[in-house]
Structure formats: structure tokens, C-alpha cells
Structure 1
Amino acid sequence: MISLFSRRFNMDIKERIKILRKDILKLTQTDFGNRIGVAKSTIAGYELGTRRPIDRAINSICREFNVSHAWLTEGIGDPFIQSDDDDIIELINKALSNENEFIRNVFKSFAKLDTKHWEALEEFMKISLGIDEKKQENKK
């Protein structure tokens, strides 16, 4: 929704920074600035358009808040970068919402495993998939 909004109304970086800080992250200029290592007045300048953020500041915003560089600088795509954890959570949620009771029960059972049982499952999967670490080492 935000990426469509930013392209549709030709927003520039100053508006995207303000939307990110104020509307999405709900941070004050001071708090936002502290997180990326700049003063409140610098953030105010970015948002007013009287200062253009340098590459270091842009990279700090992207790194600190997991923001897409393309979205922040160009308004392209989604504001946030989806992490591998987000992908995994999405797949698990999809499996848990499946109508197949067996699939749901498998994932519920996985959630209850302790370290010892995870290690046993890992060994089982290696054997089942034909993964033999000794064979892999001999190939090197």
C-alpha cells in the first residue's frame, strides 16, 4: 500500500523518511535520529527538504530499520525487507492453516521438540535423504 502511494503521488525521499519515522515506526525526530546517529535538527532538515540525506545516513536508516534501499531512495517496492525468518513464519502459518490435519499435527509436534529430539530428527533426516557427512568429507 505504501509503495503504491509513494509512486502514485510522486513522493520523494523527504516524505518517505517522514512517513517511515512518524506513521510507520511512531518515533520522534529525536529518537529516530538517535537510532541512526544524527541530531534531531538533521532529521527535521531531511523531512523539510532543506537537507539531503547523505549515503551514510540512508544506509543507516536501511540497516537500523530493515528498510529497502530502493523504497527509501526511489519509492520502488515495499518499505521493509522481508527476512528469511519472515519467509519461514509465513510457510509455517500456511501449513498450520492447511485443512490437512496430519500437516497441522506435524508442525505442532515439531514445536514441542527439545534439543535432544531435534538432534535425533536431524540424524534421521540425514539418513533418509542419503546425506552422509563422512562421504562428503571423503569427496573433498
Structure 2
Amino acid sequence: MDYKELSINERVNYLRKHEFDMTMEDFGQHIQMTKGAISYMEKGNRVVSERTIKIICAEFNVNEHWLRTGEGEIFIQPATFSFDEQIKKSNLSELEIAIMRGYMELDSEVRKAIVQKIESIIQQRSEIASTTDEDEIDAELERYRQELEAEKKVQTLSALQRRETS
């Protein structure tokens, strides 16, 4: 597809429908616009503002040059992982940032040992949860069986008493 032949409005529509697979409402929530405003914009009845261009590019990592002209790659391909960018995106607290920085400063063998310990804890908890679930089910079944047996005894006694009184 030659994106240069599309207007910027059509490129916004293309992104929403084909790249993001979003409804106008969902897309609008991301770029702070109403469904109606997006509809007008995509149809070309409304100019795509500078603010909207900046928000789309920042929110979805879209190449601004592509959005404006249809030339180049649709998305910006980050060359490297940026911890600072992730901090901004994740809205981490100061404590969380300190923990992450401290973890990354550890020797690789220490990090490997930490990961193995966490995996071990997760596996143990999973096994405990599985066993606990089975035990709880067995206990519930036993209680239900006892209730049924008690009801059966009451019914039997009631039937015997009716026979005796008749």
C-alpha cells in the first residue's frame, strides 16, 4: 500500500483500524478525543491538529514523519532498551526505581540466583494452592455427603414414625 496517496486523516483511520484494531471509543480514550471528533477527523471533516499528531505519535510510538507524509516506517523502532523511558511509561515510585536500579547493578550470577529462588517460590506456592484446592474440595464433598446421610436418616425416621402412628 502506498501510504503517500492517503491523506493524514486516512492514515489516522488506517492506524486505528488496521494497526491498533481499536474502536473509535477506545482510540479516543488513548488520544483524549470523543468518538464523534475521531469520526469527523477520519472522514476529513476536521483537521488533524498538531496536538493530536503529537499524542498519537507519543502514545503509539508512531513515526511522525510517516503520519504527516506517508513516507518511511509506520512505527519508530527503538534502537535500545531505555530504562528511563520505561520508568516514565510505568509510573514507578522512587522505591521501585531504587529496587530496579539496585537489581541491575548486581552481578549476573547473583541475579540468576534471585530469579531461580523466585521461580522456586512460585512453583511451591502453585503446588500448595493445588493441594489446598483438592483438600478443600474433598472436605466440601465429605460435608455434603454427611448432610445427605443425615437427611436420609431423618426421612427414614419420619417414615417409620408415620407407620407406627397409623
Report the TM-score, using the length of structure 1 for normalisation: 0.57
Aligned with residue 107 of structure 2, among 101, 113, 116: 116
RMSD of aligned Cα (Å): 2.1
2:69 counterpart of 1:52: no
Select the structure that is richer in helix.
2
After superposition, where does 1:36-115 map in structure 2 within 5 Å?
Answer: 36-85=31-80, 115=106
> Quick one: distance in 2 between partners of 1:118 and 1:79?
40
> Quick one: distance in 1 between partners of 2:55 and 2:108?
41
> How far is 1:118 from its partner?
6.8
Q: Deviations over 1:40-86 (max 9, x none)?
A: 11111111000011100110000000001111111110110011237
User: Which runs of no fewer than 5 residues in structure 1 stay unpaired?
Assistant: 87-113, 120-140
Report the TM-score, using the length of structure 2 for normalisation: 0.49
What SS does structure 1 have at the residue aligned with 2:47?
coil
Q: Deviations over 1:77-120 (max 9, x none)?
A: 0110011237xxxxxxxxxxxxxxxxxxxxxxxxxxx932379x
Aligned with residue 17 of structure 1, among 12, 17, 25: 12
What SS does structure 1 have at the residue aligned with 2:77?
coil
How many pairs align?
A: 87
> How far is 1:15 from its partner?
1.1
**Residue in structure 1 matched with residue 3 of structure 2 by the alignment:** 6
> Quick one: distance in 1 between partners of 2:14 and 2:34?
18
**Higher relative contact order (Cα pairs below 8 Å, separated by 6+ residues):** 1
> Quick one: distance in 2 between partners of 1:62 and 1:47?
16
Q: Mark the structure with the bigger radius of gyration.
A: 2
**Residue in structure 2 matched with residue 124 of structure 1 by the alignment:** none
> After TM superposition, where is structure 1 displaced by more than 3 Å over at least 4 residues in a row?
none
User: What code does the residue aligned with 2:23 have?
Assistant: T
